[in-house]
Amino acid sequence: MARDYYGILGVDKGASDQEIKRAYRKKARELHPDVNPGEEERFKEVSAAYEVLTDPEKRRIVDAGGDPLAGAGAGGFGGGFGSGGLGDVFEAFFGSGGGFGGGGFGSGRGPRGRVQPGEPALVAVDLDLEECASGVNKEITVDTAILCDLCKGAGTHNNSTPTTCDTCKGAGEIQAVQRSFLGQVMTVRECPTCHGVGEVIPDPCRKCGGDGRVRSRRTMTVKIPAGIESGMRVRLSGQGEVGPGGGPAGDLYVEVGERAHEVFVRDKDDLHCTIRVPIVDAALGGEIDVDTILGGTARVSFAAGTQPGQVVKVRGQGMPHLNTGVRGTLHAHLDVVVPTRLDSAQTEALNRFRAASDDHVEVVTSSASSASSGLFSRLRNAFAGR
């Protein structure tokens, strides 16, 4: 028999989420191990019942007569005594009806429900940076288990019905007595005939073979929000694997990968690009229009005397934030290019410029070098770390 999760919390089947929460808080305060060290197992039962009844999918299984925590450890509550564990040893000494909650550690678990919740599914999709910036409706192909349309999840053929398993007599488990140095030890394991359900289907569905689900490949459209990043996932509720026995489907997760862009490098909501600046433009100053990721252009202006490695920031031209939509900053890294080949006219012009300039080649002090470019300090730190 499936556990009475409503009874464990002391609420009616139609209880609201608030009523369930109040009942759990009351019992949790009474049974918490810090208050009542001897009530640890009951505290775990209450916590498990609250987990089940506050999860819509698990609660649906309970209302359908199933047990979403069946097979999750001794009694389904993770008490630490699984099949063939210490519970079987105690049962061999104290009997199936003696002590320890009236059912022993290894007995009274009963068959698990045939209807079980489905597993989540994961699909990967690669997007361009422009698609991540603007958002996109993407068509994906999903290969999952879906509800059998012939038996509607019942697993039976026509009007046939499941029957009690002859091997375990409906218990979902079989017991065996083994001799050990402690004496006779009773072990409990899942019934190999019904696989713990307690029932078998003599005349299974011709399409799904009694599983209540079949595999199918389908296409669907997923809405990718603007501002999503590589590694993030979009959750589609109830679009994953249908569970055994036609149980409720798990969720489908679409994980986004981001293709490299030929111009921009992304850093969360900011974008970085490199602009090649000839030495003359760096000396005189200039500007350039950059095509942005969402269309339009952003004007990048640099002042006269621009130095190599300077960064110009243009706010509001980066990626949109996923939640707020506020766009980040475009960082333009200026790469000042010194010509390596000069013709005679260029050489003459530069010689005239040098003659008119007061600047000249010199060895500078460490403080001046550090203040201007940081080169000396970087060299000093590098040698200090040797």
Closest CA to 285 of 336, 351, 217: 336
CA distances 138 to 148, 207, 219, 233, 332, Å, are 27, 32, 10, 13, 31
Considering only residues 319 and 370, tell me which one the structure prediction assigns the higher pLDDT.
319
Q: What is the spatial distance between Cα 96 and Cα 114, in angstroms, rounded to a whole number? A: 25
* pLDDT for 376 beyond 50: no
List the end-to-end C-alpha distance of the chain, in Å, as a whole number: 72
Predicted confidence at residue 180, as pLDDT, reads 62
DSSP SS3 for 269: coil
The two structure tokens encoding residue 348: 């003459």
**Which residue did the predictor score with more confidence, 336 or 177?**
336
What's the pLDDT band for 2 if we cut at 50, 70, 90?
Answer: low
| Distance in angstroms (rounded) separating the CA atoms of residues 248 and 238 | 7
How far apart CA 44 and CA 50 sit, in angstroms, is: 10
In this model, does residue 368 exceed pLDDT 60? no
* C-beta separation of 264 from 129 below 8 A: yes
Can you tell me the mean pLDDT for 204-212?
A: 92
Q: Tell me, what amino acid is at 298?
A: A
- 364-to-302, 307, 370, 375, 381 alpha-carbon distances in Å: 27, 17, 10, 11, 18
pLDDT digit string, tens, across residues 281-308? 999 999 999 999 888 899 999 999 999 9
Whether residue 89 is predicted with pLDDT greater than 80 in this model: the reply is no
pTM: predicted TM-score of the whole model, two decimal places: 0.61
Structure letter (DSSP) for residue 204: B
Mind giving me the DSSP string for 208-261? TTTSSEEEEEEEEEEEEPTT--TT-EEEETT-SPPBGGGBPP--EEEEEEEPPP
Q: Is the dihedral of CA 81, 86, 91, 92 positive or negative?
A: positive
- Specify the residue for token string 């564990």: 85
Query: Can you list the alpha helix ranges (DSSP code H) found in the chain?
Result: 5-9, 17-31, 40-53, 56-63, 86-94, 129-134, 279-284, 344-356, 366-372, 375-384
**Residue 98: per-residue pLDDT:** 37
DSSP 8-state code for residue 156: B
Confirm if 222 and 137 have CB atoms less than 8 A apart: yes
Radius of gyration for the alpha carbons in the chain, expressed in angstroms and rounded:
35
Tens digits of residue pLDDT in 134-193: 999 999 999 999 999 999 999 999 888 999 999 999 989 988 877 765 567 778 888 999
Looking at residue 354, its pLDDT comes to 85
What pLDDT was estimated at residue 361? 81
CB 86 within 8 A of CB 74: no
DSSP secondary structure string, 130-155? HHHHH-EEEEEEEEEEEE-TTTTT--
**Sign of the dihedral through C-alpha 112, 116, 120, 121:** positive
